Chain A
Amino acid sequence: MDANQEKFPYIAVLEVPENKIEIVPGASSDLTSVTFSIKEEDHTLGNALRWCIMQNSQVDFCGYSIPHPSEAKTQVRIQTTDSTNAIDSMNKGLDDLKSACQLIQHKLHQRLAEGNFARTA
């Protein structure tokens, strides 16, 4: 099995692009205002990530867009206060989204184990 398949069994593309995340030119020098460009991602990650990043009170602004429908990339813009920076906020957003998913998954398995629902064979 390929190393990538071992690591990420579900990914829709076999290979993770070389520069999956890039910083779009024009970021502020203190990195409080940064636009990230994420390859091979769409509204699925973009919108969920935007919501998670916006939950951070240190983030002044977060928005996402898909600049062109035939280019498989999503841009996420983050502007933060001086007490943090966009990269840390992005990292936190990804962590938060992941733990939210784990929480939902845990709840789902818990409910399935309880078996408190109508089941038809």
Chain B
Amino acid sequence: MALEDRNRVVILEDRVENISGAEFPLSFDKHEVSYSLEELKNALDIKIVHLTPTEIEFDLIGVDASIANALRRILLAEIPTMAIETVYMINNTGIVQDEVLAHRLGLVPILANPEDFNWKRAEDPPTDQNTIVFKLFVECFKNQNAAADETDPNKKYIGSSVYSSQLVWDPKGDQATRFADAPVRPIHDDILITKLRPGQVINCEMHCQKGVGKDHAKFSPVATASYRLLPDIQILQDITGDDAELFRSCFPPGVVEIVNEGGVRKAKVVNARKDTVSREVLRHKEFEGKVRLTRVRDHFIFNVESTGAIRPEVLVSKALDVLIEKCDISKAALAKLIKDDMTDE
């Protein structure tokens, strides 16, 4: 296989070729080196494309899919956050049943740094070190000032919509001083939890605990965490004239532009990154053998969108911490296994 093709996934009309890499010792001639950090150090690069308080887009270049995928999986499922785990219903006369209401409350993202809290085992008592308490007391009334023929519930009633902003943090122990700078609260104030009608009441207490996404999705620190491979559109033969126009229309706007070269209109790939790899271009006979759609196998375009509890760039760093920790735990376990085995004999 040609050297430049080794890290290309080729997209054909009816199939995808060359999907998994074969960058292992002895796979190719003269490629007999073992994994070396030096090699990775040279190949590895990260390019941050943009960063907002809730989103990061970055390119991770030069690593294998297994590492990129481990990172993605950890972001989704193994970074701890705080979320409502137990709801004590004192009174609920609303239309939404207790268990459904409790589930909805559980999904409300909570702004609290999970590193400030301990894990809570089932048998551990709740303390100010492992639990955050919220209270919700809402009641719906008729609005006496509303017009007799009013039909809008928001005007006709008072407190007919219950929003996440109505959750009241109840600091326990020294929490009020510990978190004086950053009070614990729901991240978003405008999450509709339920609706009420006059005379209906909800009174409950909620306990937040530390957990991870693999236990329940409410603990996931990300809204999305995904990657895609960088597209690479290779024009093998010049595409000119009206064909160039057609060629351009096969891709999303901004991928292909038409340049004028010596009076000839010619299609040119200007930004393959924007391509969705729709394969539309492969349906046209006139481009047969003139274009090759590929993706760069070791160029991952990551998109991480945080729920808002942890900054996105911190999330990526934490995900790597988790993977490092997994290695440490397994290494310690392996050492123990060998030690136990020796004492047995």
Contacts and interface: CB of A to CB of B under 8 A. Distances in A.
Q: Are A and B subunits of one complex?
A: yes
Contacts of B291: none
Interface residues of A, number: 58
B323 A2 contact: no
Contacts of A101: 67, 320, 323-324, 327
Contacts of A2: 118-119
Contact of B46 (A11, A94, A104): A104
A105 B336 CA distance: 28
Contacts of A58: 34
B45 interface: yes
Given A57-B26, A111-B47, A118-B51, A51 B66 contact: yes
A16 interface: yes
Given A102-B324, A117-B48, A119-B51, A21 B32 contact: no
A3 interface: no
Given A50-B66, A96-B37, 15 more contacts: A8-B325, A10-B321, A10-B322, A11-B325, A45-B326, A54-B24, A55-B25, A55-B34, A57-B34, A100-B40, A107-B46, A108-B313, A111-B47, A119-B50, A120-B52
B24 A55 contact: yes
20 contacts: A5-B118, A9-B115, A10-B325, A21-B330, A21-B337, A45-B327, A45-B330, A51-B64, A56-B34, A87-B334, A101-B323, A102-B320, A102-B324, A104-B63, A104-B320, A105-B321, A107-B45, A111-B58, A112-B313, A119-B52
B48 A111 contact: yes
Contact of B35 (A43, A96, A102): A96
B331 A94 contact: yes
A52 B25 CA distance: 11
The 10 closest A-B pairs by CB, nearest first: A55-B35, A20-B333, A57-B25, A98-B327, A118-B50, A117-B48, A47-B66, A51-B66, A48-B70, A12-B212
Nearest to A105: B320
B74 interface: yes
A85 to B, nearest CB: 11
Interface of A: 1-2, 5, 8-12, 14, 16, 19-23, 38, 41-45, 47-52, 54-58, 87, 90-91, 94-105, 107-109, 111-112, 116-121
A33 to B, nearest CB: 16
B6 to A, nearest CB: 15
B185 interface: no
Given A43-B69, A108-B313, A48 B323 contact: yes
A105 B58 CA distance: 13
Residue from B26, B44, B324 with most neighbouring chain A CB atoms (10 Å): B324
B67 to A, nearest CB: 5
B308 interface: no
A119 B60 CA distance: 18
Given A12-B214, A16-B333, A23-B337, A1 B49 contact: no
A118 B50 CA distance: 5
A8 to B, nearest CB: 5
B331 A22 contact: no
Contacts of B50: 117-120
